[in-house]
Amino acid sequence: MKGFLNLIFRVSRFLNIIAGITLTFMMFLTVSDVILRFLRRPIVGTYELVAFSGAVVIGFALPFTSWLRGHIFVDFFISRFSRTLRNIFYIFTRVLVIWLFLMIGWNLFLYGRDLYKSGEVSLTLQMPFYPVAYGVGVCCFIQCLVLFCDILKIIGGAYE
Please write the tens of the pLDDT for every residue from 65-116.
999 998 877 778 888 889 999 999 999 999 999 999 999 999 999 999 999 9
Residue 121 burial class via C-beta count within 10 angstroms: exposed 0-12, middle 13-18, buried 19 and up: middle
* pLDDT value of residue 104: 98
Phi, psi of 49 (to 5 degrees): -65, -40
For the cut 80, the answer to whether the pLDDT of residue 160 exceeds it is: no
Contact 30, 50 (CB under 8 A): yes
pTM of the complete model beyond 0.85: yes
- The per-residue pLDDT for range 1-43, each reduced to its tens digit, is 889 999 999 999 999 999 999 999 999 999 999 999 999 999 9
> Cβ atoms within 10 A of the Cβ of 39, count?
7
Regarding predicted confidence, which is higher, 75 or 136? Answer: 136
